[in-house]
């Protein structure tokens, strides 16, 4: 009798089980970034459907804001909306359906973000007038270099879409020890930005100009975009022509006067060739943080004794 009951019991269990392969683990591959600023992830589950995606911090289960593309297909991209913590563990969670009627099954990938930057207290303000994808590419490269503080959304100002006054720019530069200015598109208030940057330098902070910050748009030059920073001839009180750094004047052959004059003791700068890719140039400036290419502050800023105050 017992031998007859065993097959019948097995058939009853199979009949009661849901159809399909709900208990099978999804087969997915992922390209996971360890970056912290607006990280990008891709996941592919061939022959299956990705229904839902979630990013959580494993220490407390807190959900992280993300933007997804490709849900209800087999390939999805996930973009973080902000900045993740350094050296913390996160988990990407996907609910995947194999289409056999068993419903979605959880698939996860756990990873750890980069360790804190070498100089996590050196905050940079990024003032740009370049396409949004170039800004993000630049930010990712800076994040990966892991030299200065991890960027946050609040660290960026788009000078091509926001017309800030000089005082507004000055306020935005507070609590930052350096500024990276990259332009290629028209600036709405280049004179106001230039005045704020001069004051920022006079306070002992560092500024890097990249892209097309030094080309005027006029009949005398082949450049037809108002991407220059600062008023023509430099600010009053800068010490006269030639007292500051000539961005595009002199040997450059474009323009008779420098667009922005800054005290040479307070900043280092580079004059790139025309139409240099802004994001690549920005990373070249980051190549040697102790060199003159990317001054983290007017006082070097790489040692505690010389670091500028973060109150400005």
Separation between Cα atoms, residue 235 and residue 26, nearest integer Å: 63
pLDDT at 264 over 90: no
Q: What is the pLDDT of residue 57?
A: 97
What is the rounded end-to-end Cα distance, in angstroms, of the chain? 88
Q: What is the pLDDT of residue 11?
A: 44
Going along the chain from its start, the domains and CATH numbers come out as 20-112 (2.60.40.3780), 124-285 (no CATH)
Q: What is the pTM of this model?
A: 0.71
pLDDT digits (tens, 9 = 90+) for 58-84: 999 999 999 999 999 999 999 999 999
Q: Phi and psi at residue 135, in whole multiples of 5°? A: -60, -45
pLDDT at 52 over 90: yes
Mean pLDDT rounded to a whole number for the chain: 74
Q: How large a percentage of the chain has pLDDT more than 70?
A: 64
Separation between Cα atoms, residue 308 and residue 289, nearest integer Å: 16
Q: Phi and psi at residue 149, in whole multiples of 5°? A: -55, 145
pLDDT digits (tens, 9 = 90+) for 226-242: 888 886 654 433 332 22
* Cα–Cα–Cα angle for 37, 43, 44, rounded to 5 degrees: 160
Separation between Cα atoms, residue 279 and residue 274, nearest integer Å: 14
281 Cβ contact partners less than 8 Å away, ≥ 6 residues apart: 182, 210, 211, 270, 272
Model confidence at 15, pLDDT cuts 50, 70, 90, reads very low
Contact 211, 269 (CB under 8 A): no
pLDDT at 9 over 60: no
Contact 302, 291 (CB under 8 A): no
Q: What is the pLDDT of residue 4?
A: 55
* Residue 221 Cα to chain centre, angstroms: 32
Separation between Cα atoms, residue 38 and residue 33, nearest integer Å: 10
* Residue 134 Cα to chain centre, angstroms: 9
């Amino acid at each position: 009798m017992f031998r007859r009951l065993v097959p019948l019991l097995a058939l009853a269990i199979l009949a009661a089980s849901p159809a399909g392969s709900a208990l099978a683990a999804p087969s997915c591959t992922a390209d996971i970034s360890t970056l912290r600023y607006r990280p990008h992830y891709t996941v592919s589950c061939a022959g299956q459907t990705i229904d839902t995606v979630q990013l959580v911090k494993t220490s407390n289960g807190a959900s992280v804001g993300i933007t997804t593309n490709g849900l209800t297909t087999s390939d999805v991209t996930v973009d973080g909306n902000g900045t993740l913590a350094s050296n913390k563990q996160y988990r990407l969670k996907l609910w995947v359906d194999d289409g056999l009627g068993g419903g979605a099954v959880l698939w996860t990938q756990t990873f750890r973000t980069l360790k804190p930057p070498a100089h996590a207290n050196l905050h940079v303000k990024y003032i740009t007038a370049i396409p949004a994808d170039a800004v993000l590419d630049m930010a990712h490269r800076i994040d990966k270099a892991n030299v200065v503080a991890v960027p946050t959304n609040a660290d960026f100002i788009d000078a091509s879409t926001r017309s800030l006054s000089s005082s507004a720019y000055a306020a935005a530069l507070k609590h930052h020890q350096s500024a990276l200015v990259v332009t290629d598109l028209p600036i709405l208030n280049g004179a106001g930005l230039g005045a704020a940057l001069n004051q920022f330098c006079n306070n002992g902070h560092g500024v890097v100009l990249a892209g097309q910050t030094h080309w005027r748009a006029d009949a005398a030059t082949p450049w037809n975009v108002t991407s220059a920073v600062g008023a023509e001839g430099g600010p009053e009180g800068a010490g006269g022509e030639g007292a500051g750094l000539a961005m595009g004047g002199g040997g450059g052959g474009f323009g008779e006067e420098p667009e922005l004059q800054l005290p040479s003791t307070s900043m280092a700068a580079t004059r790139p060739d025309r139409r240099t890719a802004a994001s690549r140039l920005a990373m070249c400036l980051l190549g040697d943080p102790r060199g003159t290419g990317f001054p983290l502050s007017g006082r070097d800023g790489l040692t505690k004794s010389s670091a500028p105050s973060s109150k400005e």
